Amino acid sequence: MAIDLSPEQWPLIMGILNVTPDSFSDGGHFNQPSAAIERVRRMIEEGADMIDIGGESTRPGAPAVSQEDELARVIPVIEAIRRDSPIPISVDTSKPAVMRAAVAAGASLINDVRALQEPGAPEAAAELGVPICLMHMQGQPRTMQANPHYEDVVEEVLAFLLQRIEACQGVGITPDKVILDPGFGFGKTAGHNLTLFRELGRFVETGYPVLVGVSRKSLIGKLLGERPVEERLAGSLALATLAGWLGAAILRVHDVRETADALAMCRAVQQA
Ligand code: 7PJ
């Protein structure tokens, strides 16, 4: 099913389904299609507008995954979800072959934390014609948190994303297909993340839909005195509400029901 990105529907909830053996907050629970289906059905009941499926762990320090492994993790799960429900599926990948196979299996959005910088990725996205989320990352997952540095984090992240949009246009990806994401936690200190969050309006002002992913991230753990990942729900909801208030189009979250409740409050106040 195609994703409706019209602003009347914002913010949409993207429920996270990790099919990696090592994701930091729900790792290894959902890599059997049957377990994944149960989890997805639950997220749909709870109010998810789409499901994001990723087979490459991009948490800090995570090792690279081969194309074969990524395909083997992701494609059977996409096929199983597609047989079970019409919920829109996003595929979290940087690899052109995975993009192609995922869309053939029923995915209708590409979520690329490398913003189509892998060889062949822009061409694959153009050919597939689905919306594409371009995310900013400084460095690579294995080393990105070692020593993040910016002169001006907002200007640099914005400039990167605008440059990636140009690259997309160069291969024929039209502006209506582009979603932007500042990439919270990807080569950023807590201070960088907070500045980007405060200035989210700068990204929203570009006119492109903005995706925000902060659910359970270490930024929240840090701000709450090294809070473990299972105890970051309230912090995640506060940031989800703020992101909704600031104009985010899509929130990528683990806790769908709670986020839907928080956003209902946000929407009610905005529409009063
Ligand atoms: C993000 C993502 C994010 C987008 C991950 C985690 C790490 N994709 N994939 N934005 N984060 N677009 O969930 O903590 O922030 S994986």
One DSSP character per residue, 103-160 reads HHHT--EEEETTTT-STTHHHHHHHHT--EEEE--SS-TTTTTSS---SSHHHHHHHH
CA distances from 138 to 188, 192, 251 (A): 7, 11, 21
Low-confidence ranges of the chain (pLDDT < 50): 24
Residue 147 lies in a domain: yes
Q: How far away, in angstroms, is 158 Cα from ligand 1 center?
A: 18
Residue 75 near residue 60 (C-beta atoms within 8 A) = no
Closest Cα to residue 26, out of 45, 48, 54? 54
Residue 4 lies in a domain: no
Residue 2 lies in a domain: no
Residue 54 lies in a domain: yes
Q: How far away, in angstroms, is 272 Cα from ligand 1 center?
A: 32
CATH of the domain at 69: 3.20.20.20
pLDDT for residue 124: 98
Atom of ligand 1 nearest to the CA of 24: 14
Count the domains in the chain: 1
Distance CA 26, CA 76 (A): 19
Residue 22 lies in a domain: yes
Residue nearest to atom 7 of ligand 1 (CA): 59
Residue 36 lies in a domain: yes
Residue 35 lies in a domain: yes
Most ligand 1 atoms within 8 A of CB, residue of 74, 94, 135 to mutate = 135
pLDDT of 56-107, one tens digit each?
988 888 888 999 999 999 999 999 999 999 999 999 999 999 999 999 999 9
φ, ψ of residue 253 in degrees (nearest 5): -140, 155
- Domain residues for the domain of 208 are 11-271
Q: What is the pTM of this model?
A: 0.96
Distance CA 225, CA 231 (A): 11
Residue 197 lies in a domain: yes
pLDDT for residue 58: 85
- With a 6 Å cutoff on the Cβ, whether 94 touches ligand 1 is no
pLDDT for residue 25: 53
